[in-house]
Chains A and B, each alone.
Chain A
Amino acid sequence: MAIRFEQVNFTYGAGTTLSQDVLHDINVNMPTGEITAIIGQTGSGKSTLIQHINGLLKPTTGQVLIDDFKLTSGTKEKQLIQLRQKVGIVFQFPENQLFANTVIEDVMYGPLNFGMTKAAAKIAAEQALTRIGVSENLWSKSPFDLSGGQMRRVAMAGTLASDPSVIVLDEPAAGLDPRGQAELLALVLELKKMGKTVVFISHQMEHVVTVADQVIVMHEGRIVAQEAPKVLFNRDLSWFQDLMLDLPKAGQFAEKMKAAGLILPRRPLNLQDLASLINKGAQHE
């Protein structure tokens, strides 16, 4: 499912004395079956933006098109349930949303809400848990007895179980160990293989260059770039510094080389890229 933002503005607390304009004239699209990464400084409006994709927030003006669903300020709460079935959002620290007596019941919560029968919901939950690597002996345990990493997986399974076509992840890697992070990236790529549209927010440029097909850069509530990582990370260093964004490690390394007088033909995205560029021969100034 393709997502398109058209001239979206958003204000928190519109019409009250404490209103705060957060999004300004947003025009972006997130193509079907691709992985879109959203980056930007803290407070730039990333989380606010993604909450428009399943109607938790509605644009103050403008509209969001999610396939054939049109979300505007006038959209009724009743219509949103069908949108939320198609768009699953996993929030930051999703382990905080667990509530049921057992892991499997918690994962079944979404599918049941979206109208599946108990039997179907159970099958969907089991499939999601298996895909995400929660071993079967944990399924009947209380979610509160699990480790933090296991809880995170259960929470993610809770979203995947209702089989949404769009999956939105808000800083999914925050607080995971390196192995957990690698598994998460593998999962994101697997979701893409299954034909899902994936949107994720990240502060880690390594993750962005590893999986993203396109990157959206936000700054103070505006979109300042929407392009492929290859294009984006080849921009001037000063552009990144102005937005207070980091380059991927390989890119930072290349900048150090440049400072020492060794110039590569373009900025590398990752370690392999860096190695092959060096092999081709860096040029002395």
Chain B
Amino acid sequence: MNNIMIGRFVPGESLIHRLDPRTKMIGTFIYIFVMLWANNWQTYLWSAVFVVGLIKFTGQPFKLYWDGLKPIFWLILFTVILQLLFTPGSPVLWHLGPLSVTVPGVVNAIYVMVRFVLIILMSTILTLTTPPTSIANAIESLLGPLKKIKVPVAELALMLSIALRFVPLLMDETQKIMNAQKSRGMSFSTGGPIKRAKAIIPLLIPLFVGALQRALDLANAMEVRGFKDAVQRTRYRILHYDRNDYIAFFTIVFFVIIFFGIKIVTGF
């Protein structure tokens, strides 16, 4: 339960930690969008170098990012194998019925893997250095213009931050209930598939009951303190860009320019 690194925030004092969350989100989106245009080893290399540089700047050990990749290892492997087996072209290295491994297939498989890893690493930089509530604030701020067309942006952001707040609580709760039921002899590792699926009921029911109870408690607590939706609210933490954010934007623009520069030089 404690090995899940995706979406985990690790507090720190690095330059990247201190950036405005909106800067980080926009930067991440621009990076991913641009990186998807990479189509040769030069552009992939530049994208990789850029991410590695950023990781250095977060002041967190590489191992943390590596832990973040592990859970999706199988997904990456699966996609790579698909690419490997189903890309047509020549020369053919090996084939069996409809399956064939071709040189373009191998190259494609490597590119897809690199692309996957880079996207995950870049998103991990965002989530590792930004508390979930800041991400929710940033989303609210970035979606601000949609208020004009009557999208309840503030309410959506509130729902998002409450949901994010509940994730670690539910994970703790799951662990506790698992321990309790294991002590009463629950076992996931014996019996056929139906028996195993059934074994999950004693886990899910208390989890739902607990989550509903918590949600009700929270709703009551908000209501007795006079919470109303659809009112103009001020904030405790006000987002504002400062010098570092301008530097960050400049860095991303630098990445984009070099990227397309390489593309032009290597002839698209």
Spell out A's residues near B (CB within 8 Å): 12-13, 16-18, 51, 54, 56, 77-78, 81, 84-85, 87-89, 91, 94, 96-100, 109-110, 113-114, 144, 158-159, 162
- Mark each residue of chain B from 34 to 65: 1 if its CB lies under 8 Å from any CB of chain A, else 0: 00000000000000000000000000010110
Contact A110 B179 (CB under 8 A): no
Q: Name the residue among A54, A56, A87, A162 with the largest chain B CB count within 10 angstroms.
A: A56
Chain A residues positioned under 8 Å from B176 (CB to CB) = 91, 96
Contact A77 B184 (CB under 8 A): no
- Mark each residue of chain B from 184 to 199: 1 if its CB lies under 8 Å from any CB of chain A, else 0: 1111011000000000
Closest CB-CB distance, B136 to chain A, in whole Å? 24
Contact A51 B205 (CB under 8 A): no
Residue B177 at the A interface, CB < 8 A? yes
Contact B184 A110 (CB under 8 A): yes
Chain A residues positioned under 8 Å from B182 (CB to CB) = 56, 84
Residue B183 at the A interface, CB < 8 A? yes
Spell out B's residues near A (CB within 8 Å): 2-3, 61, 63-64, 67, 173, 176-177, 179-187, 189-190, 201-202, 205-206, 209-210
Bound form: Cα–Cα A108–B179 in Å: 18
Bound form: Cα–Cα A16–B63 in Å: 8
Chain A residues positioned under 8 Å from B184 (CB to CB) = 84, 88, 97, 109-110, 113, 158-159, 162
Q: Can you list the 10 inter-chain pairs with the closest CB atoms, starting with the nearest? A: A113-B185, A97-B180, A110-B184, A99-B205, A89-B183, A99-B202, A114-B185, A13-B2, A17-B63, A56-B179
Chain B residues positioned under 8 Å from A85 (CB to CB) = 185
Chain A residues positioned under 8 Å from B187 (CB to CB) = 77, 81, 113
Bound form: Cα–Cα A158–B184 in Å: 8
Bound form: Cα–Cα A56–B175 in Å: 11
Chain B residues positioned under 8 Å from A162 (CB to CB) = 184-185
Can you list 6 A-B pairs with a CB-CB distance of less than 8 A?
A: A89-B179, A91-B183, A99-B201, A99-B205, A99-B206, A109-B202
